[in-house]
A and B are shown apart, each in its own frame.
Chain A
């Protein structure tokens, strides 16, 4: 039940040879089904993607999609509170769920003979949700502790939500999925059922089943379990129009952190924009391995930084590129910021080398080989490309797509997106809380 962490966009790439085979079809009630047979191990993975996330919340109800994700474990018509866990874990399975800006996913891996159990559990909570005021209050306090543990009480825990606000404030990407606890306190129990009725309908869901199973038997089970669930209304998807900042925005958070940290964020390319690939390669060139630009200059060269990183986050209607570094003991935030800019400017001015590009592609190839040895990664990538890009078969073209990116593309996207005059710059400085600027 994790709230989605800021991570680089999925690194999901084609291996040297093996193509990922899958079948896709749609039930009359609108449920999209993707089946991927893979008999390497006698296990099966069931994943449901609902095309709803924090961007579907209203500005005065932030955090609701994630709280709702918790409620999905609190019982449905035939499954009592927490029984979802006990059924799955009772057969040795594992399960979890995450909430992001654009989607919420629920997944479980089980020994193959319990595939029916997983489908029964997912279908029961899709067709009915049974929540009580008591369970709602209980999960509300769990979510509050989650926010404290992972954000408020964690060193540097607020950087991500702050940067989102600085870059996308005024739009539904302006807050992070964990949301505002005061909003959740003000949410009535009715809102839970209403949210389910609108968003947790078959025509807003994609069911991915992967692993060791008989195709015909599984499609019969899917029909039995999910076929009778009523189709919901058409989902309204208001377009999110992100405006470029008119000037650089700066902010400082003072908190009991050990060392100053600097975060430089930019609006970048949304999912579906080919520039997103060049930006993600650029993040690898800046950040991946000790020989990368930020590591070799800030961390190991001048040593102004204790650590440094860069990554891009792609969302449906927006993208964010972030470069960040934590100062070393004897350096200031200002020094760190200056060196981050120097590296960004160098790419904008001189581009990158073919060798750097090759290293990034080799890394992408390697991460494909590791992540696609797991059903969970294969399933999530299939759902990602199906739901957010409209074409699951892209899973087999990804490495090819990345290899078409040229050094010139990288320089161009750096020039276009990583401009100082539209950046958000955040300082996290050691001190007593409450002295933010």
Chain B
């Protein structure tokens, strides 16, 4: 029957597969809108994204405006009311949604390819001719304020919002995408219309289609529905993080009786286009970006403080943040925080080991291979190329770029971005229980959920 095999070591790998990033095509409409297409006919399904190169960063004096406006796109467009529009889309079994990111706004359609013509004409109304009906504005306001209240009951949300405030101050990335009570009360129909007219222009848009796309017919359909769309690209903004002085510091967002503390510890990071970005995500992955990272091994596997801990790098047009995030038991808040600082200390003190580096490299390179299984996944990479202005062969070259990184390069990046003495630690938790012990680490202030300093 079964032969005896050597079980003490893993079997040798088979022949190395060539994982190539799938090809995609770039077409240009007559009015200049770029159309990226990832063709794949395995399933009778198409996903189409219309991306507007403006998002919450363009909120101006009204935080939440981009998100509010995009939520209302589906609340009436062309000759259709919100209900009529929903009935059409729902009947097709399709999904159509719109949401704002920090740098961009995306209107996304997912539909069986046979239903594309009907769905596309609805999508064109939604993007080009939203009507912003008064009763819908009122409903959206009410629901957005309630949703904000719901988000704020989540400690991890509170920690991340306060963390952005600390790092970015009044700059656009320091604000909440979903706004605040004041701004949501002020946003009205006129503001939404103005936002739409200013930013929803042909010069500020691109399309990404993936799946069962018949290219010539598809392009004809786009010309029919979007061929008349005009308008230039609005001026771009530029800004950078301002974490203030007094570093390192700890800020507690008070959440009385919380049984867990949600932690964020971090500092200003870099822009998506920065030449150091690949080195940054590599050192970050090793540090806290995957299960086998230093942070997770320490906080979860060695100490059992948390269900999971990780570190994150923003992927944005302007410099964002890098940070560690974890939810830990209230009683071990100080211990967990000290461990995070210890890990930051050691990652900036000496180069990572050759073994760790090799492992993280094959993880990053291999996981890219796993992330291009479906046309929709490929489309999200293509979208990043278009949004951040990366070279078209960026993901073809990506594995080689990762492979060539050295321990010294990673140490250099760690020393520039991950120094423990430059960190801001934000904790959403029970201030009365945790405050005193944290003061042994560095200066502590306590704030409420609006970010206003309070005494406890």
Interface residues of A (CB under 8 A from B): 15-18, 28, 40-43, 77-78, 81-82, 85-87, 89-94, 109-117, 119-121, 124, 137-146, 148-150, 152-155, 212, 221, 223-225, 227-228, 256-259, 288-292, 295-296, 299-300, 303, 306, 326, 328-329, 355, 358-359, 361-366, 369-370, 372-375, 433
A116 touches B43 (CB 8 A): no
Q: A92–B290 Cα gap in the complex (Å)? A: 10
A291 touches B329 (CB 8 A): no
Could you say which of A42, A116, A364 contacts B369, with CB atoms under 8 Å apart? A42
Query: What is the minimal beta-carbon distance from A29 to any residue of chain B, in angstroms?
Result: 10
> Which residues from 322 to 341 on chain B have a C-beta closer than 8 Å to any C-beta of chain A?
327-329
A289 touches B90 (CB 8 A): yes
Q: Could you say which residues of chain B place their CB within 8 Å of the CB of A81?
A: 301
Q: Could you say which residues of chain B place their CB within 8 Å of the CB of A257?
A: 153
Could you say which of B14, B143, B258, B373 contacts A40, with CB atoms under 8 Å apart? B373
Q: Could you say which residues of chain B place their CB within 8 Å of the CB of A358?
A: 91
Could you say which of B1, B83, B91, B257 contacts A227, with CB atoms under 8 Å apart? B1
B143 touches A148 (CB 8 A): no
Query: What is the minimal beta-carbon distance from A76 to any residue of chain B, in angstroms?
Result: 10
Query: What is the minimal beta-carbon distance from B100 to any residue of chain A, in angstroms?
Result: 19
B362 touches A258 (CB 8 A): no
B392 within 8 A of A: no
B327 touches A145 (CB 8 A): yes
A91 touches B362 (CB 8 A): yes
Q: A93-B367, A359-B91 are in contact. List 12 more A-B contacts (CB 8 A).
A: A42-B369, A85-B292, A91-B362, A92-B366, A116-B10, A116-B12, A153-B258, A258-B149, A289-B89, A292-B90, A299-B143, A366-B95
B400 within 8 A of A: no
Q: A138–B19 Cα gap in the complex (Å)? A: 38
Closest to B20 in A: A42
A116 touches B13 (CB 8 A): yes
B45 touches A370 (CB 8 A): yes
Closest to A213 in B: B14
Closest to A330 in B: B142
B110 touches A370 (CB 8 A): yes
Could you say which of B90, B260, B373 contacts A145, with CB atoms under 8 Å apart? B260
B260 touches A148 (CB 8 A): yes
B9 within 8 A of A: yes
Interface residues of B (CB under 8 A from A): 1-3, 5, 7-19, 42-45, 74, 82-83, 86-87, 89-95, 110-112, 115, 139, 142-143, 145-147, 149-150, 152-155, 257-260, 290-292, 297, 300-302, 304-307, 327-329, 359, 362-370, 372-376
Could you say which of A86, A117, A329 contacts B292, with CB atoms under 8 Å apart? A86
Q: A116-B13, A149-B327, A306-B146 are in contact. Are A369 and B44 (CB under 8 A)?
A: yes
Q: Could you say which residues of chain B place their CB within 8 Å of the CB of A155?
A: 150, 153-154
A153 touches B307 (CB 8 A): no
Q: Could you say which residues of chain A place their CB within 8 Å of the CB of B18?
A: 42
B290 touches A146 (CB 8 A): no
Closest to B261 in A: A153
A149 touches B14 (CB 8 A): no
B153 touches A374 (CB 8 A): no
Query: What is the minimal beta-carbon distance from A359 to any residue of chain B, in angstroms?
Result: 5
A92 touches B300 (CB 8 A): no
B82 touches A145 (CB 8 A): no
Closest to B374 in A: A373
Across the A-B interface, the 5 shortest Cβ-Cβ residue pairs: A92-B366, A362-B93, A141-B304, A289-B90, A227-B2
A373 touches B42 (CB 8 A): yes
B363 touches A149 (CB 8 A): no
A369 touches B300 (CB 8 A): no
B300 touches A355 (CB 8 A): no
Q: Could you say which residues of chain A place their CB within 8 Å of the CB of B304?
A: 137-142, 145
Q: A361–B364 Cα gap in the complex (Å)? A: 39
Q: A124–B87 Cα gap in the complex (Å)? A: 53
Q: Could you say which residues of chain B place their CB within 8 Å of the CB of A433?
A: 257
A-B contacts, 22 listed (Cβ < 8 Å): A41-B372, A43-B370, A78-B9, A87-B10, A92-B369, A116-B11, A116-B14, A120-B10, A138-B302, A139-B304, A142-B306, A143-B307, A149-B260, A256-B257, A290-B82, A300-B139, A303-B139, A306-B146, A358-B91, A362-B115, A366-B94, A369-B45
B146 touches A362 (CB 8 A): no
Closest to A229 in B: B2
Q: A145-B307, A152-B259, A369-B43 are in contact. Are A224 and B2 (CB under 8 A)?
A: yes
B297 touches A82 (CB 8 A): yes
B10 touches A374 (CB 8 A): no
Q: Could you say which residues of chain B place their CB within 8 Å of the CB of A120?
A: 7, 10-11
B112 touches A78 (CB 8 A): no
A366 touches B145 (CB 8 A): no
Closest to A96 in B: B291
Q: A362–B94 Cα gap in the complex (Å)? A: 8
B83 touches A153 (CB 8 A): no
Could you say which of A43, A77, A117, A361 contacts B7, with CB atoms under 8 Å apart? A77
A329 touches B291 (CB 8 A): no
Q: A78–B11 Cα gap in the complex (Å)? A: 12
Q: A77–B9 Cα gap in the complex (Å)? A: 11
B328 touches A90 (CB 8 A): no
A16 touches B15 (CB 8 A): no
Tell me which of B112, B290, B359 has the highest count of chain A C-beta atoms within 10 A of its own C-beta: B112
Tell me which of B43, B143, B363 has the highest count of chain A C-beta atoms within 10 A of its own C-beta: B43
A291 touches B86 (CB 8 A): yes
Closest to B11 in A: A116
Could you say which of B112, B146, B153 contacts A369, with CB atoms under 8 Å apart? B112
Q: Could you say which residues of chain A place their CB within 8 Å of the CB of B364?
A: 92
A111 touches B366 (CB 8 A): yes
A258 touches B150 (CB 8 A): yes
Q: A398–B302 Cα gap in the complex (Å)? A: 45
B292 touches A366 (CB 8 A): no
Query: What is the minimal beta-carbon distance from B155 to any residue of chain A, in angstroms?
Result: 7
Closest to A214 in B: B14
Q: A288–B89 Cα gap in the complex (Å)? A: 11
Q: Could you say which residues of chain A place their CB within 8 Å of the CB of B91?
A: 291, 355, 358-359, 362
Q: A412–B154 Cα gap in the complex (Å)? A: 40
A296 touches B5 (CB 8 A): no
A362 touches B92 (CB 8 A): yes
Closest to B147 in A: A306
Q: A328–B258 Cα gap in the complex (Å)? A: 25
Tell me which of A92, A141, A361 has the highest count of chain B C-beta atoms within 10 A of its own C-beta: A92
Q: A113–B18 Cα gap in the complex (Å)? A: 10
